[in-house]
A and B are shown apart, each in its own frame.
Chain A
Amino acid sequence: MVVKVYGPVYASPKRVLVCLLEKEIEFETIPINLLTGENRSPEFLNLQPFGSLPVIQDGDYTLFESRAIIRYYAEKYKSQGADLLGKTMEDQGLVQQWLEVEAHNFEPPVLNLVRQIMFSSFYGLTGDKKVIKESEEKLGKVLDIYEDRLSKSKYLAGDFFSLADLSHLPFTHYLVGPVGKEYMIKERKHVSAWWDDISSRPSWKKVLDTYGLPF
């Protein structure tokens, strides 16, 4: 029985899809339409009571929160496909650290930019300039720290590609594309090289080619 991943056109589910491809785990996808509020239907809330994407079903086993799902599969299938966790306990600790940094320092300002610039324009609204300016400043400071880290380390957790790098793919893709702030990446030499590296992985290219975007 094949893993089912809900909501493939959206960003957070793509975090799971790229991880499953790296781990060579077969899956199928089930569309969920956020515009029609499908994520608030009783059937969906039965699977994911917060109404967020993604959720996976693996036989009887249901799991939600993309960063929990990728940790689960990276651990369960550690010896299959790319090892996204690190060899030693200490390597694994650093993967956890940078995955937490992505969730708590990187994603919040990027998500603000996505909402104010991408979704606003979709609805024909102008984004809140103050929020955009503050979020860009915050993100700039975070990326300065990444620049320093990546000047000493090929990938975030060390010399190996891990869940921590992978987790950045969906929202950085929005940032350099429809959000229109590619310069934030390109202006930073090591962040730029890191982005070119991770975004050219076959797994990520396959996700983009196969599943598209919500608009």
Chain B
Amino acid sequence: MVVKVYGPVYASPKRVMVCLFEKEIEFETVPVNLLTGENRRPEYLKLQPFGSLPVIQDGDYTLFESRAIIRYYAKKYKSQGTDLLGKTIEEQGLVEQWLEVEAHNFNPPANNLVLHIMFSPSFGITRDENLIKESEEKLAKVLDVYEDRLSKSKYLAGDFVSLADLSHLPFLNYLVGPIGKEYLIKERKHVSAWYDEISSRPSWKRCLEYGFPFEFK
């Protein structure tokens, strides 16, 4: 029985899909339409009570929160495909650290830009220029820290690609594309090289084939 991943056109599910490709784990996808509120219907809320994407079903086992799902598969299938956790427990700690940084420092301002530049006025979002400005400033400061880190380390957690790097791909893809802020990446030599490296991985290219919730201009 193959893993089912819900909502493949959206960003957070792609976080899961890129990891499943890296781990050589077969999966199929189930579409969910956020614009029609499919994620607020009882059938979906039974799987994911917060109404967010993604959720996976693996036989009887249901799991939600993309960063929990990728941790689960990276650990369960550690010896299959790419090792995304690190060899020693200390390396794994650094993977956890940078995955938390992605979730708490990178994702919030990036997500504001996604909502206010890409998605507004859908989902009842009124574009807030102040918030866009503040978010870009915050994101720039975070990327300065990344620039320093990546000048000393090939990947975020060390000399190996990990969950921490891959977790950035969906929103970085939006940032350099439809959000129109590629310069934030390109202006930073080491961040730029790191982005080129991780975004050219075959696993990520396969994810892009699942499309997006809108047309990229």
Interface on A for B, CB 8 Å cutoff? 49-50, 61, 63-65, 67-69, 71-72, 75-76, 89-90, 92-94, 96-97, 99-101, 103-105, 142, 145, 148-149
Residues A93 and B63 in contact, CB atoms below 8 Å apart: yes
Interface string of B178-216 (1 = CB under 8 A from A): 000000000000000000000000000000000000000
Q: Which one, A68, A69, A92, A101, contacts B99 given CB within 8 A? A: A68
- Closest-CB distance, A80 to chain B (whole angstroms): 13
Give the complex CA separation of A75 and B68 in angstroms. Answer: 15
Main secondary structure, interface of A, reads: helix
Residues B68 and A96 in contact, CB atoms below 8 Å apart: yes
Give the complex CA separation of A89 and B63 in angstroms. Answer: 12
Residues B68 and A68 in contact, CB atoms below 8 Å apart: no
- Closest-CB distance, B85 to chain A (whole angstroms): 10
Give the complex CA separation of A104 and B65 in angstroms. Answer: 9
Residues B104 and A103 in contact, CB atoms below 8 Å apart: yes
A-B contact pairs, 13 of them (CB 8 A): A49-B148, A63-B93, A67-B96, A75-B92, A76-B93, A92-B72, A93-B61, A93-B68, A96-B67, A97-B63, A97-B68, A99-B68, A100-B68
User: A103 — which chain B residues lie within 8 A by C-beta?
Assistant: 103-104
- Closest-CB distance, B107 to chain A (whole angstroms): 9
Are A101 and B93 also in contact (CB < 8 A) when A65-B104, A145-B50 are? no
User: B75 — which chain A residues lie within 8 A by C-beta?
Assistant: 89, 92
> Is residue B131 within 8 Å, beta carbon to beta carbon, of the partner chain?
no
Nearest to B56 among chain A residues (CB) is A93
Nearest to B71 among chain A residues (CB) is A96
Give the complex CA separation of A64 and B156 in angstroms. Answer: 14
Q: Which one, A64, A76, A94, A100, contacts B67 given CB within 8 A? A: A100
Interface string of B53-85 (1 = CB under 8 A from A): 000000001011101110110011000000000
Give the complex CA separation of A61 and B90 in angstroms. Answer: 8
- Closest-CB distance, B58 to chain A (whole angstroms): 9
> Is residue B97 within 8 Å, beta carbon to beta carbon, of the partner chain?
yes
Q: Which one, A68, A89, A93, contacts B93 given CB within 8 A? A: A68
Are A65 and B97 also in contact (CB < 8 A) when A89-B72, A93-B72, A105-B50 are? yes
User: B72 — which chain A residues lie within 8 A by C-beta?
Assistant: 89, 92-93, 96
